[in-house]
């Protein structure tokens, strides 16, 4: 798995139109916090108990197959790294993790989007 900063991921996606851009956060985060423009929601964990999504692998396969690059993003880059490792164990060979994720690392006041991340970098995003 390769790791890209949000700006590197944005550039990679612009240059690689066949890449699948997967937001692996929860549905609630995707809808209410916002998400990168043109990303596809496929949750890594879901439900009130944050259970591993048993459909994750199948949904990613349906979205992109093993032949297309898969770029994963989450809140801070941790879930997407886990999801990327899982995809690699299941035959995906062209996987990218967006470091710092959509909201970035926590600052000294435990706030996000103040140090780094997709939103912090001013990259295109939307909220439902």
DSSP conformational letter for 53: -
Question: Terminal CA-to-CA distance of the chain, rounded, Å?
Answer: 30
Token digits of residue 12: 């990679």
Any idea what the CATH number is for the domain that residue 49 is in? Answer: 3.40.250.10
DSSP conformational letter for 117: S
Alpha helix positions (H), the chain: 6-15, 27-28, 56-64, 78-89
Give residue-wise pLDDT tens across range 4-45: 999 999 999 999 999 999 999 999 999 999 999 999 999 999
pLDDT band (50, 70, 90) for residue 128: confident
Token digits of residue 119: 């939103």
Q: Total domain count for the chain?
A: 1
Return the higher-pLDDT residue of 82 and 64.
Answer: 82
């Amino acid at each position: 798995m390769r790791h890209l900063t949000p700006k590197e991921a944005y550039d990679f996606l612009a240059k690689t139109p066949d890449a699948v851009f997967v937001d692996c956060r929860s549905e609630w985060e995707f809808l209410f916090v916002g998400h990168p423009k043109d990303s596809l929601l496929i949750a890594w964990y879901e439900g009130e108990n944050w259970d591993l999504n048993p459909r994750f692998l199948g949904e990613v396969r349906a979205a992109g197959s093993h032949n297309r690059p898969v770029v994963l993003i989450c809140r801070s880059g941790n879930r997407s790294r886990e999801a990327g490792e899982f995809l690699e164990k299941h035959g995906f060979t062209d996987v990218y993790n967006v470091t710092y994720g959509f909201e970035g690392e926590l600052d000294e006041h435990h706030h996000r989007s103040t140090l780094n991340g997709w939103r912090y970098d001013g990259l295109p995003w939307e909220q439902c």
